[in-house]
């Protein structure tokens, strides 16, 4: 069965699903306003999508923004994500720039958790995960498939690859073209949640995949993404609705 991971005072364990709310501001004022609104809804995790604010990636601006953001968040977990364009993000960085950015965040301990994309080289991923762990930052290794849902065995192999690369959480999100694809994602995740030693986040995107966000506790996904304001991915559900619906499916 998937292992338990604790970040700050929150534990990620199969059978319960924590709620993350993305903030996608393009200016410092927007970032802080979104964070304030998100925290008032009491999510478990705030995901800061830093690909939305290219100007804010200047080291001095970023560090000042983080300090203000941390004050707003209190003890709420901060997950930091630069989502590249190929994985559905708002901007792009080549591998060298991506690694440089993340190394700076890690060295200055500017996050609790970091999303690292699986498509980068094994060497880059290994170095980032090693450095993150040296600073007690947990890593979500992620893959996003917008053209369709991979076959069940491929999903299983991806999740196992993430564990083998020392991720703290394995994440896969895919766009279903038919409801059978949603079931494929659920089945693969349920299988691996009984086998892997790390927790899993699994999402079927879009309106067809909304059921996977609600029933996440049943098939072993430990985090579901909700909205307070604008969505950052197709199919996200308002936090109050998600919380109410998801409670019916918790197994822990």
Residues assigned a catalytic role: 144, 171
**18-23 and 10-12: which strand pairing?**
unpaired
Please, which residues have CB within 8 angstroms of residue 240's CB and are 6 or more apart in sequence?
41
Report the candidate in 52, 53, 42, 50 with the shortest Cα–Cα distance to residue 20: 42
The CA-based dihedral angle spanning residues 25, 212, 193, 231, taken in that order and rounded to the nearest 10 degrees: 0
Asked whether residue 193 is marked as a ligand-binding residue, the answer is no
Asked whether residue 104 is marked as a ligand-binding residue, the answer is no
**10-12 and 5-7: which strand pairing?**
antiparallel
Asked whether residue 49 is marked as a ligand-binding residue, the answer is yes
Distance CA 35, CA 23 (A): 6
Asked whether residue 187 is marked as a ligand-binding residue, the answer is no
Report the candidate in 195, 203, 252, 238 with the shortest Cα–Cα distance to residue 224: 203
Q: How far apart, in Å, are the Cα atoms of 83 and each of 36, 191, 201, 232, 247?
A: 22, 27, 16, 10, 29
Residue 138 CB neighbour total at 10 angstroms:
20
Write the DSSP assignment of 134-198 as a string of letters.
HTT-EEEEEEEESS-PPPHHHHHHHHHHHHHTT-SEEEEEE--SSHHHHHHHHHHHHHHHTT-SS
Asked whether residue 142 is marked as a ligand-binding residue, the answer is no
Question: Which residues contribute to the annotated binding site?
Answer: 47-49, 83, 213, 232, 236
Known binding positions for 3-dehydroquinate? 47-49, 83, 213, 232, 236
């Amino acid at each position: 069965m998937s292992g338990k991971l604790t970040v700050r005072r929150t534990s990620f364990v199969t059978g319960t699903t924590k709620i993350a709310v993305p903030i996608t501001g393009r200016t410092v004022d927007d970032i802080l306003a979104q964070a304030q609104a998100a925290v008032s809804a009491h999510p478990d995790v705030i995901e800061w999508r830093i690909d939305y604010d290219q100007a804010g990636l200047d080291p001095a601006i970023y560090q000042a923004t983080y300090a203000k953001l941390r004050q707003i968040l209190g003890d709420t977990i901060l997950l930091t994500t630069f989502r590249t364009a190929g994985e559905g993000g708002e901007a792009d960085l080549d591998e060298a720039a991506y690694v440089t950015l993340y190394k700076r965040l890690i060295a200055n301990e500017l996050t609790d958790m970091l999303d690292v994309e699986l498509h980068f080289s094994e060497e880059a991923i290994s170095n980032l995960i090693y450095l993150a762990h040296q600073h007690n930052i947990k890593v979500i290794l992620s893959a996003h498939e917008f053209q369709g849902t991979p076959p069940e065995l491929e999903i299983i192999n991806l999740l196992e690859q993430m564990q083998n690369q020392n991720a703290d959480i394995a994440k896969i999100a895919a766009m279903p073209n038919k409801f059978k694809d949603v079931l494929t994602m659920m089945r693969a995740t349920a299988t691996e949640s009984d086998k892997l030693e790390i927790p899993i986040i699994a999402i079927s995107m879009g309106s067809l995949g909304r059921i996977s966000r609600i029933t996440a506790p049943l098939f072993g996904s430990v985090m579901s993404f909700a909205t307070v304001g604008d969505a950052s991915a197709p199919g996200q559900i308002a936090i109050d609705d998600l919380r109410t619906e998801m409670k019916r499916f918790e197994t822990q």
